C-alpha cells in the first residue's frame, strides 16, 4: 500500500514543506492545484502575514466544509529526531515527520477523498468547501477567524464542517470530537504596598491579601456540566510576585488563570462571578480578560450520523463522541455552521519528537472522508 497510496504520496509532499507557524511554505498552492481542475473556485484570504484558502465547488446547499491547517509547531532540535523532521520517512509501518499526525495526513486525505468523490459524483448535491489556514498552531488571530468573518460578511453559511484534527486515541476511528469547551483567561494584578519583611505593619502583602480569594475561587463549583461537557474548571497557571530578595514584601502579585468552561456557563457570567469574589474580599486589583473561544457542541444529527456510519463501514469501529482536549478552529467555524465535528488520525505523538502516523491508516482515513461526503451530498 505504501507504494501505491495517493494519499500517502500527497502527505509526504506536504510534510516535506517546513510550514512552521505562520509560514505556509507553499502547501496551499499545492492543494489548490489539485482542487482547481475539479471545478473548485479558489480564493485566497491572506491577512496579517497568514495564508488562508477558501475553495468551493458548487453554489447550492447543503455546504459541507473540510477544514484544517497547514502550519505545524516547531520541531525542536533536529538532531533529537530519529530522522529529519521535514524529511518524511517510513519505517516499521509508520510515517514520520513534523505534521504527520497534526494535520498534514488529514489534509492529504481531504484532497484524495474529494478527487474520488467528484469523479464518481460529478453532479453531486450541494457544495463542497475547504477552509485552510497557516495560523492554527499560533495565536490564531489572522487565520480561520478572518475567513469566517469574511464569509459571514457576505452571507455565506455552512451546513456541515469536519475539522481534520487528530482525534483518534488508540486506533483510527475510535473518537470524534463533537464539541469543545470554551477557554477564558485572566491576568489579575493584586496591588499591595512594598516594604521590609521585618516591618509588615508598614506594608501590605498582596499575596497574603489574595490568598483567601484564591482559596474560594479554587473551591467554587462553577457549574455541573451536562451530557457532553464536564463541569467548568478554574485553574491558576502562574503566580508571580517579589523582587527575588527574601527580605522584601512585594508590592504587586500577578496571577494568570484560565477557565475551561462548558455550555452551562457563559464568559460574561464567569467574569461577573470572579469579580464578585475579588470585590467581596476587598482587593485593590486590575483584571484583564481574554476569550480564546466559546464552547460549541454538535449533537447526534446528520453530520455525526454520516461520519459515524462511514467509520463503521470502513474501519469496523463504533466511534465515541467526546469534547475533551484543548481548543481548535472549530470554535470559530461554529459561528457560521450548525454542525461542526473534528475527526482525524491517532493523536499519541502530536507536537512530540518523532511525530508519526500509521501508514496503514492513511488511505482508510481518506475513505472515511469520501464516504461521509457521499452520505451527505448524494440523493
62 vs 138, more confident: 62
Q: Is the pLDDT of residue 3 over 80?
A: no
Mean pLDDT of 127-151: 96
Q: How far is CA 293 from the centre of its chain?
A: 10
Element housing 241 (H / E): strand 233-241
For the question of residue 136 being annotated catalytic, the response is yes
Q: How sure is the predictor about 246, in pLDDT bands with cuts at 50, 70 and 90?
A: very high
For 316-357, the DSSP string reads ---PEEE--SS--THHHHTTTEEEEEE--SB-TTTTSTT-EE
User: CA-CA distance, 266 to 289, in Å (whole number)?
Assistant: 14
Q: Is the pLDDT of residue 4 over 80?
A: no
Alpha-carbon dihedral 78, 81, 87, 92, rounded to 10 degrees:
180
Report the percentage of the chain scoring pLDDT > 70. Answer: 99
Mean pLDDT of 328-354: 96
Q: What are phi and psi of 36, to 5 degrees?
A: -60, -45
Question: Which residue among 23, 71, 135, 137 is the active-site one?
Answer: 71
User: CA-CA distance, 271 to 184, in Å (whole number)?
Assistant: 9
Mode of pairing for the β-strands spanning 248-249 and 195-196: antiparallel
Average pLDDT, the chain: 96
Question: Which residue among 115, 136, 329, 370 is the active-site one?
Answer: 136
Q: For residue 193, what are the contacts with CB-CB under 8 A and spacing of at least 6?
A: 202, 203, 204, 249, 251
User: CA-CA distance, 201 to 133, in Å (whole number)?
Assistant: 56
CB 163 within 8 A of CB 333: yes
Q: Is the pLDDT of residue 379 over 80?
A: no
Alpha-carbon dihedral 147, 152, 158, 162, rounded to 10 degrees:
30
Q: What is the pLDDT of residue 258?
A: 98
Q: How sure is the predictor about 1, in pLDDT bands with cuts at 50, 70 and 90?
A: very low
Q: Is the pLDDT of residue 139 over 90?
A: no
4 vs 313, more confident: 313
| pLDDT tens column, 273-324 | 999 999 999 999 999 999 988 999 999 999 999 999 999 999 999 999 999 8
User: CA-CA distance, 259 to 181, in Å (whole number)?
Assistant: 9
| pLDDT tens column, 202-221 | 999 999 999 999 999 999 99
Question: Among 231, 216, 334, which residue's Cα sits nearest to residue 278?
Answer: 216
Mean pLDDT of 6-23: 98
User: CA-CA distance, 234 to 212, in Å (whole number)?
Assistant: 15
For the question of residue 71 being annotated catalytic, the response is yes
pTM, 2 dp: 0.89
Q: What is the pLDDT of residue 2?
A: 44
Question: Among 72, 54, 71, which residue's Cα sits nearest to residue 63?
Answer: 54
User: CA-CA distance, 191 to 184, in Å (whole number)?
Assistant: 22
| pLDDT tens column, 259-271 | 999 999 999 999 9
Q: How sure is the predictor about 325, in pLDDT bands with cuts at 50, 70 and 90?
A: confident
Mean pLDDT of 361-372: 98
Amino acid at each position: 500500500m505504501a507504494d501505491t497510496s495517493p494519499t500517502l504520496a500527497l502527505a509526504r509532499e506536504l510534510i516535506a514543506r517546513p510550514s512552521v507557524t505562520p509560514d505556509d511554505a507553499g502547501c496551499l498552492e499545492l492543494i489548490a492545484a489539485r482542487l482547481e481542475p475539479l471545478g473548485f473556485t479558489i480564493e485566497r484570504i491572506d491577512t496579517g502575514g497568514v495564508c488562508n484558502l477558501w475553495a468551493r465547488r458548487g453554489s447550492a446547499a447543503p455546504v459541507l466544509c473540510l477544514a484544517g491547517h497547514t502550519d505545524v509547531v516547531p520541531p525542536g532540535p533536529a538532531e533529537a529526531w530519529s530522522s529529519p523532521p521535514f524529511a518524511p520517512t517510513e519505517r516499521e509501518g509508520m510515517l514520520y515527520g513534523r505534521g504527520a499526525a497534526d494535520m498534514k495526513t488529514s489534509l492529504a486525505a481531504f484532497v484524495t477523498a474529494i478527487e474520488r468523490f467528484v469523479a464518481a459524483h460529478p453532479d453531486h448535491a450541494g457544495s463542497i468547501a475547504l477552509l485552510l489556514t497557516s495560523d492554527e498552531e499560533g495565536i490564531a488571530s489572522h487565520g480561520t477567524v478572518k475567513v469566517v468573518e469574511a464569509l459571514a460578511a457576505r452571507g455565506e453559511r455552512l451546513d456541515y464542517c469536519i475539522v481534520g484534527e487528530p482525534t483518534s486515541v488508540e486506533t483510527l476511528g475510535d473518537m470524534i470530537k463533537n464539541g469543545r469547551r470554551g477557554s477564558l483567561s485572566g491576568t489579575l494584578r493584586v496591588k499591595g504596598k512594598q516594604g521590609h519583611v521585618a516591618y509588615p505593619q508598614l506594608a501590605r502583602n498582596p499575596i497574603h491579601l489574595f490568598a483567601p480569594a484564591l482559596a474560594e475561587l479554587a473551591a467554587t463549583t462553577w457549574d455541573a456540566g451536562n451530557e457532553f461537557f464536564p463541569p467548568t474548571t478554574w485553574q491558576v497557571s502562574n503566580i508571580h510576585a517579589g523582587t527575588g530578595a527574601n527580605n522584601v514584601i512585594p508590592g504587586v502579585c500577578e496571577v494568570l488563570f484560565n477557565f475551561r468552561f462548558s455550555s452551562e456557563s457563559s464568559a460574561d457570567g464567569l467574569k461577573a462571578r470572579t469579580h464578585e469574589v475579588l470585590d467581596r474580599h476587598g482587593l485593590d486589583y486590575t483584571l484583564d480578560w481574554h476569550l480564546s473561544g466559546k464552547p460549541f457542541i454538535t449533537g447526534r444529527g446528520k453530520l455525526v450520523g454520516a461520519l459515524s456510519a462511514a467509520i463503521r463501514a470502513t474501519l469496523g469501529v463504533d466511534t465515541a463522541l467526546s469534547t475533551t482536549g484543548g481548543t481548535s478552529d472549530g470554535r470559530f467555524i461554529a459561528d457560521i455552521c450548525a454542525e461542526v465535528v473534528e475527526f482525524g488520525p491517532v493523536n499519541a505523538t502530536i507536537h512530540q519528537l518523532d511525530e508519526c502516523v500509521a501508514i496503514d491508516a492513511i488511505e482508510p482515513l481518506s475513505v472515511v472522508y469520501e464516504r461521509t461526503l457521499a452520505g451527505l451530498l448524494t440523493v
